[in-house]
Amino acid sequence: MSAASTRPSAGSRTDRRAPSQRRSRERVARILDAAAELVVSEGVDALSTRRIADAAGVPVASIYQYFADKEEIILELVKRDTEEMDAHVAETVAALETLSIRSVVTTTMHAFLDVYARRQEFVAIYFRGRTSPAVIEFCREHNVRIAEAVFAVMTGAGLLSEEADLARGLLAVEIGDRVLEWAFRDGYTGDQRVIDDGIEILVGYLERFATESGRTSSD
């Protein structure tokens, strides 16, 4: 029987089970982990529900109990990894003893890099395989949320002048996004020179709108 014949109609998400029980959650985690390994070793384009099912050690029919197709699995991977990233950014920024434009930018970028190191599938999807409209839209919205969170920290700490606004914060996030995309274009370790120069670009841009305390170095 083909994979297509075991797949339910795309229809509503209610056609598939939400992983509420521990056994179901563990199976979903196994499916996602298998997909992540395949993305890193073979690339996003090589993914298929059959390959994921084989790697996870589950029947193809089990995949369709939780996901409509491979694109939904890819989106769930991105959601999982960005949730981890957001938590790590919040934790590391909150631990800063001295807040400045430089310390917040540097800490945020390094927090991203920490997650990239342990979630290489995110690098592969986000920088090389972001073709799904749903993934593109989710990533666009996630950049807005990152900008809002970092802007709130900076304004709350009095680091930014009245010239600063969320639009400039979002531009900074998008610049950082392009810097990291360029740094990871050839592998999973990242070009440290590009990353360091990118941080300087972001600090220089945001310090144009900084208060005196915002320019205070925390090095």
208's enclosing H/E stretch is none
Spatial separation of the C-alpha atoms in residues 34 and 15, rounded to whole Å: 23
Whether residue 107 is predicted with pLDDT greater than 60 in this model: the reply is: yes
Q: Long-range CB contacts (< 8 A, 24+ apart) of 60-64?
A: 60/3, 60/6, 60/7, 61/6, 62/27, 62/31, 63/31, 64/6, 64/7, 64/8, 64/16
Look at residue 81 in the predicted model and tell me its pLDDT. Answer: 96
Residue 62, pLDDT > 50, answer yes
Exposed/middle/buried for residue 118 (C-beta within 10 Å: 0-12, 13-18, 19+): exposed
Share of the chain above pLDDT 90, in %: 82
Residue 91 DSSP code: H
Mean pLDDT across the stretch 37-55? 94
Residue range 34-61: mean pLDDT, rounded: 95
How many angstroms separate the CA atoms of 126 and 132, rounded? Answer: 11
Across all residues in the chain, what is the average pLDDT? 89
Joined together, the tokens standing for residue 109 give 């970028």
Model confidence pLDDT, tens digit, residues 141-162: 999 999 999 999 999 999 999 9
The burial of 212, by beta-carbon neighbours within 10 Å (0-12 exposed, 13-18 middle, 19 or more buried), is given as: exposed
Categorize the per-residue pLDDT at 129 as very low, low, confident or very high, splitting at 50, 70 and 90.
Answer: confident
Query: Residue 164's Cα: distance from chain center in Å?
Result: 25
Tell me what pLDDT residue 128 has: 82
How much of the chain exceeds pLDDT 70, in percent?
89
210: β partners: 160
In DSSP notation, 115-154 reads HHHH-HHHHHHHHH----HHHHHHHHHHHHHHHHHHHHHH
Asked if pLDDT for residue 93 goes beyond 90, the answer is yes
Instruction: Give the mean model confidence (pLDDT) for residues 161-179.
Output: 96
The CA distance from 121 to 213, in Å, is 38
Q: Residue 20: what pLDDT?
A: 59
pLDDT score, position 23: 84
Helices (H), 10-69: 22-42, 49-56, 60-66
Mean pLDDT over 132-139 rounds to 92
pLDDT-derived band at 19 (thresholds 50, 70, 90) equals low
**pLDDT per position as a tens digit, 109-123:** 999 999 999 999 999
**Predicted structure pTM score:** 0.84
Give the sign of the dihedral formed by CA 117, CA 119, CA 125, CA 126. negative
